[in-house]
Amino acid sequence: MTFGAMVGQSEAKAQLRRMLAAGPGHAVLFTGPEGSGRRLLASLFGQALLCLSPGEDGACGTCRSCRLFEAGSHPDWIAPLRDPKREKTGIPVERIRRDVVGPLALFPQESPRKVLLLPGDELNETSQNVLLKSIEEPPPYAVFLMTVASPRNLRPTLVSRMVRVRLAPLSDDDMRRFLSGRGIGLPDGFAPALLRMARGIPGEALRLLASSDLPDRRVALLDLLESLGGMTHAELFDTAWPALDALGEELPWGLAMWSGWIHDMILMSRLADPAAAAREPARRQPDGIGSLAHPDRQSAYRKRVGAAADPAEGLGRCLAAVDESARALESGANREMTVCSLLLQLRKELSHAQGRQRPVS
Ligand SMILES: [Zn+2]
């Protein structure tokens, strides 16, 4: 398959095409979050390196080497994966010695090269040390490819020996192309929120789409945000905090949805003439509405904007608070403290919506 088999990643592909033309060197590191397609891109590059008559855009797809590769039986392609049932903490060093270092010493059989693809996130310190030796003094026919979420997960000496190829987040258009290529249409109303939550990571979009109750949970979370301003102190801690905590690992997406709602409100306040919007809510369609994260909430937005419920500077502070909390959680801040202090701040800013009556604690 050629690089065209993969949607997006034009910069990474251009870099790989240059490497194909000029010689790939001995080691290439593909970095990008899980689900970004780094293994697919590395495999397309690997197939091109093994191909007997590669073109400008990668492997020919028809030579004997390509046929063996696509059948999964190319003898010069070494791509061990962790066995999740038996190997809890990465690929053990014994297997690296047996499946990588051992076969590496044998000459290639079908292609002029021998290409290895290693999952960097699954290699412990000892395995990395063993590999480092092979990468430092490789046989002339060997090319190492490695995937990793972040170079920080690897020893710096290992990283310094590899040329880095970065996978970029997909644009919304590329994401739609990726999904439609798999026969997946995005549900109306939910599409912008989903694209936002997937953060340009195609595997993430697939994971989110497989979660069938996600649309309902999004609506529940937006309802919750819209009612925060009217909540009592007790409701905040008895209802709102448990609802967010119940998101578990998906809390960052919950916050991304909230951030989208606040973005939308800021946009609507800017676009709409509040007085006119209140008089003719159905007919007024300000330009730029297509960029709403939650287009299905338009009527709720208009009501708030029309009532001048949320002062612009307050919304700005809400956005900053949500983004800051998301960053704090990502760097390991205490979950309950971070979320509860965010809830308090959002309630304070959004309480104007309820007839400017501050809730009583
Ligand atoms: Zn070929």
DSSP letter (8 states) at residue 72: T
**Whole-Å CA distances, 187 to 178, 192, 258, 291, 296:** 15, 10, 19, 16, 11
Q: How far is the CA of 213 from the centre of ligand 1 (A)?
A: 44
Give the pTM. 0.72
Spacing, Cα 346 to ligand 1 middle (Å): 58
Q: What is the 49 CA–ligand 1 centroid distance (Å)?
A: 9
> What is the CA(331)–ligand 1 centre distance, in A?
45
Tokens of 358: 């501050």
Distance CA 266, CA 313 (A): 9
The pLDDT value given to residue 123: 92
CA of 357 to the centre of ligand 1 (A): 71
Distance 73 CA to ligand 1 centre (A): 14
Query: Is residue 278 a contact partner of residue 307, using CB atoms and an 8 Å limit?
Result: yes
The Å distance, Cα 126 to ligand 1 centre, comes to 36
Q: Note the pLDDT of residue 191.
A: 80
Query: Count of CB atoms within 10 A of residue 217's CB?
Result: 17
Sequential pLDDT tens for the chain (361 residues): 889 889 999 999 999 999 999 988 899 999 998 899 999 999 999 999 999 999 989 999 999 999 999 999 999 999 998 888 888 888 989 999 999 999 999 999 999 999 999 999 999 999 999 999 899 989 999 999 999 999 999 999 999 999 999 999 999 999 999 999 988 887 666 787 788 778 899 998 998 888 768 778 888 999 999 999 999 999 999 999 999 999 888 888 889 889 989 999 998 888 876 554 455 444 444 446 667 888 888 888 888 888 877 777 899 999 999 999 999 998 889 999 999 999 999 999 998 644 444 444 4
Considering the domain 213-353, what is its CATH architecture? Up-down Bundle (1.20)
Q: How far is the CA of 55 from the centre of ligand 1 (A)?
A: 9
Q: What is the pLDDT of residue 357?
A: 45
Mark residue 288 as left, alpha or beta (left: phi above 0; alpha: psi -120 to 50; beta: remaining). left
Retrieve residue 310's tokens. 């949320």
pLDDT of residue 275: 56
**24 CA from centroid of ligand 1 (Å):** 17
Contact predicate 290/220, CB 8 Å: no
Residue 48 Cα to ligand 1 midpoint, Å, equals 7
Tell me how far apart the 2 most distant CA atoms of the chain are, in Å: 79
Distance, CA 159 to ligand 1 centroid (Å)?
A: 30
Q: What is the spatial distance between Cα 121 and Cα 113, in angstroms, rounded to a whole number?
A: 25
**CB of 159 closer than 8 Å to CB of 132:** no
| CATH 3.40.50.300 residue spans of the chain | 3-166
Amino acid 189: pLDDT: 66
Reduced to 3 states (helix: H, G, I; strand: E, B; else coil), residue 29 is strand
Topology of domain 3-166 in CATH is Rossmann fold (3.40.50)
Q: What is the dihedral of CA 316, 319, 324, 326, to 10 degrees?
A: 180
Beta strands in 110-170 (DSSP E): 114-119, 142-148, 163-166
Distance 63 CA to ligand 1 centre (A): 4
Q: Measured between alpha carbons, how far is 14 from 57 in angstroms, rounded to an integer? A: 9
- As a whole number of angstroms, the distance between CA 181 and CA 179 comes to 5
**CATH code 1.20.272 region(s) in the chain:** 213-353
Ligand 1 centroid vs 51 CA: distance in angstroms? 4
Cα of 62 from ligand 1 centre, angstroms: 5
Q: Are strands 77-78 and 27-31 parallel, antiparallel or unpaired?
A: unpaired
- What φ, ψ does residue 77 adopt, rounded to 5°? -110, 115
CA of 74 to the centre of ligand 1 (A): 12
Query: Measured in angstroms, how far is the CA atom of residue 157 from the centroid of ligand 1?
Result: 34
